């Protein structure tokens, strides 16, 4: 992947420095023009820790100037996420309280729209945006593994092993998505659609990296995982039904049917065996579990609101 097109003064400056390797003057980088400019910059800085960019030298992954820009953007973004959050439920009876918190959350459903009335073109747009996450599906949770106790680590590995295909590269969830994209006539090249990704997609991906790459936010990472899994099974069924209605290829439908079954198991694992065990050991992390969980649902809502408004217009 090449570095994306800039979307403002900050991304322009930071991307030029990443390409040239001359990062010495980033201390005087201009402020971001818009939230999108800030989020795209942060996304590209995080991407250095995943697959990276062909036009950026590998040694810049730990460049102190770039890390300083990242830290500034992360601080702002974390404050924004915390400011959006409602009060966390009482710590008593975590598992049941968590499932109730997720069930009581009411947001717009993109999957319901896809099931009943989305056009093929709208679904193509949705799938292009979803490549930003699904082509590195589950990777953000992998960052958190070395930061956990043996008990929690083993449970996260059980879930991740499934996301990564149980040892079969053809069953890797990211790979199932690749096959679905190819058969649907879309570009499955990693990062191909980053220039199309709207603010809400960038925010969602950045929240995953923020929580995964900062040890102090490990509980938010696992809370994000738990809410993500707990809100996946039934929408995945609706997505599969909508794709079937529109005549999408079997491989694209299979990506979603795989998640109907898998995520019904993953949600139990993530809420009870992962977050439950984490909080039994470190109860002071309770509110951070909810920071992650609320962010997962709220960021999905924000994206759904944008797309439903756009398509209604």
Residues binding Fe ion (CB under 5 A): 163, 173, 263, 266
Are 199 and 35 spatial neighbours (Cβ–Cβ below 8 Å)?
yes
Closest CA relative to residue 265, chosen from 298, 221, 220, 232: 232
Nearest to Fe ion of 164, 303 (CB atom): 164
Are 200 and 306 spatial neighbours (Cβ–Cβ below 8 Å)?
yes
Tokens of 107: 């947001």
In this chain, which residue has its C-beta nearest to Fe ion?
173
Tell me how many degrees the CA angle 54-39-32 measures, rounded to the nearest 5. 105
Q: How far is the CB of 78 from Fe ion (least distance, A)?
A: 25
Are 260 and 132 spatial neighbours (Cβ–Cβ below 8 Å)?
no
Nearest to Fe ion of 67, 260 (CB atom): 260
Q: How far is the CB of 284 from Fe ion (least distance, A)?
A: 27
- Could you say which DSSP state residue 58 is in? G
CA distance 43 to 8: 14
Q: What are the E-state strand segments in 95-160?
A: none
62: left (phi over 0), alpha (psi -120 to 50) or beta: alpha
Q: How far is the CB of 195 from Fe ion (least distance, A)?
A: 25
Nearest to Fe ion of 4, 180 (CB atom): 180
Are 14 and 42 spatial neighbours (Cβ–Cβ below 8 Å)?
no
Nearest to Fe ion of 115, 266 (CB atom): 266
Nearest to Fe ion of 163, 288 (CB atom): 163
Nearest to Fe ion of 173, 238 (CB atom): 173
Q: How far is the CB of 277 from Fe ion (least distance, A)?
A: 18
Contacting residues for 225 by C-beta, under 8 A, at least 6 apart: 141, 159, 270, 274, 292, 296
Q: How far is the CB of 149 from Fe ion (least distance, A)?
A: 22
CA distance 103 to 238: 17
CA distance 105 to 228: 13
Nearest to Fe ion of 29, 296 (CB atom): 296
């Amino acid at each position: 992947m090449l570095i994306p097109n800039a979307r403002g003064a900050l991304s322009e400056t930071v991307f030029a420095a990443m390409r040239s390797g001359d990062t010495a003057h980033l201390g005087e980088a201009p402020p971001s023009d818009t939230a999108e400019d800030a989020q795209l910059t942060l996304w590209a800085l995080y991407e250095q820790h995943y697959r990276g960019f062909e036009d950026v030298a590998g040694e810049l992954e730990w460049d102190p100037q770039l890390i300083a820009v990242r830290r500034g953007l992360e601080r702002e973004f974390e404050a924004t996420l915390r400011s959006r959050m409602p009060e966390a439920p009482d710590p008593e009876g975590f598992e049941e309280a968590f499932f109730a918190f997720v069930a009581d959350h009411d947001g717009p459903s993109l999957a319901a729209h896809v099931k009943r009335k989305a056009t093929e073109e709208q679904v193509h747009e949705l799938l292009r945006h979803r490549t930003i996450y699904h082509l590195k599906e589950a990777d953000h949770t992998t960052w958190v593994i070395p930061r956990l106790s043996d008990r929690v680590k083993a449970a996260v590995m059980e879930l991740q092993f499934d996301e990564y295909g149980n040892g079969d590269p053809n069953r890797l969830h990211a790979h199932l998505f690749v096959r679905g994209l190819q058969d649907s006539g879309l570009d499955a090249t990693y990062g191909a659609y980053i220039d199309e990704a709207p603010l809400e997609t960038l925010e969602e991906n950045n929240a995953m990296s923020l929580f995964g790459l900062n040890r102090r936010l490990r509980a938010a990472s696992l809370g994000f995982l738990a809410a993500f899994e707990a809100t996946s099974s039934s929408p995945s069924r609706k997505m599969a039904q909508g794709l079937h209605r529109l005549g999408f290829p079997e491989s694209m439908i299979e990506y979603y049917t795989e998640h109907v079954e898998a995520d019904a198991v993953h949600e139990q694992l993530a809420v009870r065996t992962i977050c439950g065990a984490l909080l039994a050991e470190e109860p002071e992390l309770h509110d951070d579990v909810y920071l992650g969980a609320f962010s997962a649902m709220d960021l999905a809502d924000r994206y759904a609101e944008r797309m439903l408004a756009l398509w209604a217009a």
